[in-house]
Structure 1
Amino acid sequence: MSAGTAARRPTTGASMTVVVGFLAFVELTSGVIQGFYTPLLTDVARHLGVHDADVNWLEGSQLMLSALVVPALAKLGDMVGHRRILLWSTAVTAAASLVLPFTDSFAVFLVAWALQGFYVVWLPLEIALVWLRTRDLPNRSAVTAKAAGVLVAALQAGAIAGALAGGALVDSFPLWVVLLVPALLVCACFVVVWLGVAETPDPVGGRLDTRGLVLISLALLAFTGGLSLLRLEGVASPVAWAAVAAGLLLLWPFVRAELRHDDPLIDVRMFRSPALAPVFLTAGLFGVSVLGAQAPLSTFARTDPAVYGYGLGTSGFQTSLLIGVYLIAMIVGALSFPRVAALVSPRLTLFVAALAVAVGFGLFLPLHDTYVQVATNMVIVGLGSGTLVAALPAAAAAAAPPTQTGVATGLTNSVKTVGGAIASCVFGIALLGAAGANAAESVTGTAGTLTGYMTVWVVCGGTALVAAVLLLVVPKEAFTDRGAHAPAA
C-alpha cells in the first residue's frame, strides 16, 4: 500500500480518541503556562531587579508576538503539515521556557518570555489537524466539535492546576527550580507530539507569501505597539495615535497584495464569506471580554469596600477561588458544546453562548456587592466563554475552504487577540482616568472608581450582545457537515 493510500485510510473513532488524548496533554501544558506564572510575577520582578510595573512589558511583548506568529504558522501548517508546525512551535516554546530559570537579565527574560508565546498557535493547529484527519467520517463536524471541547477543557484544567501549583511551589523552593517546572512540561509535550500524533494527510504545499507576511507583521506590530503606548502614555500621545493609524493604513496594501496573490498568506475573501465573516467578528468581539476583562475583574474583587464604597475586599486566596470558579464554568461550557450543538445546531449554540456572556456582564451592573453575586455572574460568563473558546475554531474549520483550514482556525485566535488588545487599552485608559480623579485611589494603587468598572462591564456585555446578533445572520446549516463545503461568497 502506498504512503498516499495510507494517508487516506479512514480515521476510526478509536484512533481519533488516541490522537485527541495526546493533543489534550499539549493543551493541558498550554493551560499550565497561562496559569503557572501569574502568582510568581512579584517574585520574578524582585529576582530581575525591576519595578512591579515593568512586568506589564512581559504581557505586552508576548501578546504582540502571538499576533505576529499565528498567521504565518497557521499558513505553514496548511502548506507543510500541521503536526510539523506543532513540533516546531513546541520546540521554540521549550527552548524559551528553559531560558527563564537561568537568567537574571530583564532583557534576556523579556525576549525568552515573548518567544514562549509561540504556544498560542497550538490550539488552532490542533483543531485543523483533527478536522483534516476526520474528512472520511460522515459526522466530522460533530467529531471536531467534541474534540475541541475536550481540548479547551484540558486547557482550562491546566490553567487551574498551573495557578495552584505555581503559588504553592514558590513558597517552598528557589525561584529557578519553580520556573523549571513548566519548561520540563513543554519538553514532555514535544515528545508526546513526536511519538503520538501523525501528520495531517496531503499538505497543500506551495511557497510562503513573504510579502504578505511582512505587510501584516508591520501592520500588527504598529497597531498593537500603538495600543501599548496609549496605555503607557495616555490618549494625548501623538506618537501612540500615529502608530495605531499606521497599523490600520498598512492593512490596505496588505489586502491588495493578498487579492493579487495566487496562494496568499491569508485569503481575505474569507472575510466576505457569509459563514466565516460572523465567526471572525464574533472572535474579535469575544476577545474584548475573555482577554480584556480578566485584570479589571480581579482588581475589583481585591478593592476594599470599607475604603472606597465598592469592591469585595477579597484576599489573594479568595480571589484565586473566584477565578477558579470561572475557569471551571468554562470547562463545563466547553464540554457541553458538542452535546448542545447536536441537539439544536452549532449556530444556535454559538448564539446562546454569546448571549450568556452578555447576560453575565449585564448582571454586574445591578449585582456586584457580594461575593456570591460576583461569583454567580462569573459562572454565567464562564459557561458562555468556554463554549465560544471551543466552538469558534471548530466552526471556522467547518466553514473554511479545504486548503485554508489552518489559516481559518488561526485567524479566530489572531482576531480574538486583537480584540483583547484593543479592550485592554480602552479599559486601562478608562480605569486609569477614573483613578486619576481620586487622589487616594491613585496613591493606594486601586484600578479606578466604580464608574470605570461599570464601563468595563457595559463594553463587555455590549460587544457580546453584538456578537450574538451577528450569529443570527449566519446560514442555518453553517458549521455542520451539510454546510461544511459550501462555497464562500
Structure 2
Amino acid sequence: MDRTAATTEPPGASPLRERLTVPVLAFGGILMAVMQTVVVPLLPDLPRLTGASAGTVSWMVTATLLAGAVLTPVLGRAGDMYGKRRVLLTALALMTAGSVLCTLTSDIAVLITARALSGAAAAVVPLSISILRDELPPDRRGSAVALMSSTVGIGAALGLPLAAVIVQYADWHTMFWVTGALGVTGVAAVGWTVRESPVREPGRFDVAGAIGLAAGLVCLLLGVSQGGPWGWGSARVVGLFAAALVVLALWSWQQLRTERPLVDLRLVGRPRVGLSHLAALLAGFAFYANTLVTAQLVQAPEATGYGLGLSIVATGLCLLPSGIVMLLLSPVSARISAARGPRVTLALGATVIAAGYAVRIADSRQLWMIIAGATVVATGTTLAYSALPTLILRAVPPGRTASANGVNVLMRTIGQAGSSAAVAAVLVHHTSPVGGAPVPTLHGYLLAFAMAGAVALLAAAVALRIPGDPPQDAADGPDRAVHRAPGARDGAMKGA
C-alpha cells in the first residue's frame, strides 16, 4: 500500500526558518537527554514522596528505558514511511505529555506511566539525523549530524544539575513543570521551523514486526535491568532471557520473510551496517559507566577514605564540563570524519574513552583528576557518537535512514543497560561497611573503570574492521525505491 503525504510546508519557506533548522533539532535532542536524566536526583526521596517502595520507584527509570528502546526503531520506521517531521512532532508531543502528567499526580502508577510516555523522546535523535541527511547539502551535513549526536551527552550533563537545583530548592513537581514547558517550546519550534522531508519509502507498516520486537526487547532489557534486584539466577530473570531468545528468534524469522520489514536484517547483515551497530553497543556500554560511577564516587562519604561527600548539585556541576566539551568538539569530529572517514573517528573516539578511564584508574581521589578523567571520556564519546550516524548514513539507502539510525540508537541503549547492570554487579561484590551500611570500595570503582576501558578498546577494534566506503555510496544504490511526496521540493535545502 503506497502511503504518502504531501509536505506540510509551503514552497519557499523563509531563510530564517532554514537557518534555525539545525539548532532547533539540536534543542530537541538536548531536551530528550534532559528528560531522561531529570528524575535521577529524585529517586532517593520518591519513596517518601509517593509512599511506594524503592523497588517500585526505580520503575520510573526502567519504564523510560524500556519504552525508548521499543519505540525508537518503531518510530524511526514510521518516519521513513509517513514523514519524519510528522513522527518527530509525535515523539516530542508524547514526551511533553509525560512531563505534564507528572506535574498533576503523586501516584506512583501514574508517574511510571507518564515516564513511559516520555520514553518516546528516544526517537528524536535518529529522526532528526535523518531529516538533516535529507535536507542539508553535503558540506553542511557532517557538522550538523555530529552536533545532533552529541546532544545526548550535552543534555545528560545539563539535566542532572538542573534537576538537582530544582529538587533542592523547590517542590519536586516544579521540575516537571519546567520540562513540560521546555517540551511545549520544542514542539512549537519544530512545528514552525522544520520542513517535512520529501524522502519516503512507501508500503504497509509491519505491525507484527513491531509487536515482536517490542516483546523481545522488553524481555531482554527487563532481565538486564532487574538482574541485580531479582538475582541473576532467579527463575524470573532466567525466564525473561529465555523468552527474549525465543521471541527475537521468531521475530528475525518473520522479518526475513516480510516484504517491507520493520528492521531490514539483510541490511544489518552487511558488515558496514552490522559492525557499526556492534560498535554502537560497545560504545554505549563504555560511555555510560562514566556517568554512573562518577556520580556515586564523588557522593561517597568521606569516611570511606576516598569519597568527597558532595551534594547532588555539586555532583551535577562536576559533570558539566563534560557537556561543554561535547558541544565544542562536535565540529572537530565532523572534520576528522571528512578527512579520514568516520570509522577512523569512531576508533579514535573509543581509544580516547579508554585513555580517560586510564586517568580515572591513576587517580580517583582528587576532584580535579576525577573531573579531568570524566572530561577525557566525554571527549572520546563525542568523537565516537558523532561518527556512528555518519557511518549509518553512508551505508543505507535514503529511504531507510531513520529506521537504521533508530536501530543504532537502540544498540547504544542496550549497551547502556548492560553497563548499568555490570557496574552494579561489580560494585555490589566489592563493598565495605561504613557507618553500618555497605559502601562500594575504591577497588570496586577501579574495576568498573577497567571494565569500561576494556570494552572501549574492543569498540575501537570493531571500528577498524568496518569496511571503508565503496566507490559508489550504498545509499545511492538501487536497494530500495525512494518516493518523494507530491509537491516536494527538488534538491537539498540550500540555505541551512
Fold shared, TM-score > 0.5 on shorter chain = yes
- Give the counterpart of 1:332 among 328, 332, 340: 328
- Indicate whether 1:444 and 2:437 are aligned: yes
1:103-123 Cα distance to aligned partner (Å, 9 max, x none):
021111111111111111000
How much has 1:220 moved relative to structure 2?
0.7
2:27 corresponds to which residue?
25
How much has 1:319 moved relative to structure 2?
2.2
1:196-216 Cα distance to aligned partner (Å, 9 max, x none):
111111321211112211221
Contact 2:394/2:475 (<8 A) preserved: yes
Equivalent-residue separation in structure 2 for 1:281 and 1:417 (angstroms): 12
Aligned to 1:310, what secondary structure does the other structure show?
coil
Contact 2:134/2:199 (<8 A) preserved: no
Q: 1:184 to 1:455 in 2, by over 3 A?
A: same
1:225-263 Cα distance to aligned partner (Å, 9 max, x none):
212331112223132122112212322211111111111
Equivalent-residue separation in structure 1 for 2:464 and 2:14 (angstroms): 34
- Give the counterpart of 1:455 among 442, 447, 450: 447
1:266 corresponds to which residue?
263
How much has 1:36 moved relative to structure 2?
3.4
- Give the counterpart of 2:417 among 421, 436, 444: 421
1:115 corresponds to which residue?
117
Aligned to 1:170, what secondary structure does the other structure show?
helix
Contact 1:303/1:311 (<8 A) preserved: yes
- Indicate whether 1:57 and 2:59 are aligned: yes
Aligned to 2:349, what secondary structure does the other structure show?
helix
2:355 corresponds to which residue?
359
Q: 1:430 to 1:162 in 2, by over 3 A?
A: closer
Equivalent-residue separation in structure 1 for 2:283 and 2:272 (angstroms): 17
Counting only pairs closer than 5 Å after superposition, residues 233-252 of structure 1 correspond to structure 2 as 233-252=230-249
How much has 1:294 moved relative to structure 2?
2.1
- Give the counterpart of 1:151 among 148, 153, 159: 148
2:86 corresponds to which residue?
84
Equivalent-residue separation in structure 2 for 1:314 and 1:434 (angstroms): 21
Equivalent-residue separation in structure 2 for 1:102 and 1:145 (angstroms): 42
How much has 1:178 moved relative to structure 2?
3.4
Q: 1:201 to 1:49 in 2, by over 3 A?
A: same
Contact 2:161/2:317 (<8 A) preserved: no
- Give the counterpart of 2:316 among 316, 320, 325: 320
Question: What amino acid does structure 1 have at the position aligned with 2:89?
Answer: L
Equivalent-residue separation in structure 2 for 1:320 and 1:172 (angstroms): 15
Counting only pairs closer than 5 Å after superposition, residues 32-431 of structure 1 correspond to structure 2 as 32-52=34-54, 54-134=56-136, 137=137, 140=138, 142-154=139-151, 156-304=153-301, 307-431=303-427
Q: 1:9 to 1:130 in 2, by over 3 A?
A: farther
Aligned to 2:386, what secondary structure does the other structure show?
helix
Q: 1:481 to 1:16 in 2, by over 3 A?
A: farther
Q: 1:34 to 1:335 in 2, by over 3 A?
A: farther
How much has 1:56 moved relative to structure 2?
1.9
> Which 5+ residue runs of structure 1 have no aligned equivalent?
none
1:451-483 Cα distance to aligned partner (Å, 9 max, x none):
3223311221111111111111222337x9856
2:488 corresponds to which residue?
none
Aligned to 1:365, what secondary structure does the other structure show?
helix
How much has 1:38 moved relative to structure 2?
3.2
Contact 2:77/2:400 (<8 A) preserved: yes
How much has 1:53 moved relative to structure 2?
5.2
Aligned to 2:125, what secondary structure does the other structure show?
helix
Share of identical aligned residues, percent? 26
Q: 1:299 to 1:92 in 2, by over 3 A?
A: same
Equivalent-residue separation in structure 2 for 1:292 and 1:209 (angstroms): 35
Equivalent-residue separation in structure 1 for 2:60 and 2:365 (angstroms): 33
Equivalent-residue separation in structure 1 for 2:347 and 2:12 (angstroms): 33
Q: TM-score by structure 2 length? A: 0.87
Equivalent-residue separation in structure 1 for 2:12 and 2:344 (angstroms): 30
Q: CA RMSD in A?
A: 2.9
Question: What amino acid does structure 2 have at the position aligned with 1:108?
Answer: V
Question: What amino acid does structure 1 have at the position aligned with 2:51?
Answer: G
How much has 1:397 moved relative to structure 2?
1.9
Deviates more, 1:37-46 or 1:108-117: 37-46
Q: 1:396 to 1:72 in 2, by over 3 A?
A: same
Deviates more, 1:77-86 or 1:203-212: 203-212
Contact 1:399/1:485 (<8 A) preserved: no
Give the number of aligned pairs. 475
2:460 corresponds to which residue?
468
How much has 1:445 moved relative to structure 2?
5.0
2:469 corresponds to which residue?
477
Contact 1:19/1:197 (<8 A) preserved: yes
Equivalent-residue separation in structure 1 for 2:358 and 2:8 (angstroms): 53
Equivalent-residue separation in structure 2 for 1:13 and 1:486 (angstroms): 32
Q: 1:162 to 1:240 in 2, by over 3 A?
A: closer
Aligned to 1:250, what secondary structure does the other structure show?
helix
Question: What amino acid does structure 2 have at the position aligned with 1:80?
Answer: Y
Question: What amino acid does structure 1 have at the position aligned with 2:343?
Answer: R
Contact 2:298/2:310 (<8 A) preserved: yes
Q: 1:163 to 1:233 in 2, by over 3 A?
A: closer
Q: TM-score by structure 1 length? A: 0.89
Deviates more, 1:39-48 or 1:341-350: 39-48
Q: 1:432 to 1:469 in 2, by over 3 A?
A: same
Equivalent-residue separation in structure 2 for 1:110 and 1:228 (angstroms): 16
Contact 1:358/1:462 (<8 A) preserved: yes
Q: 1:157 to 1:353 in 2, by over 3 A?
A: closer
Contact 2:356/2:374 (<8 A) preserved: yes
Question: What amino acid does structure 1 have at the position aligned with 2:423?
Answer: F
Contact 1:62/1:113 (<8 A) preserved: yes
How much has 1:360 moved relative to structure 2?
1.2
Equivalent-residue separation in structure 1 for 2:18 and 2:456 (angstroms): 33
How much has 1:145 moved relative to structure 2?
2.1
> Which 5+ residue runs of structure 2 have no aligned equivalent?
480-496
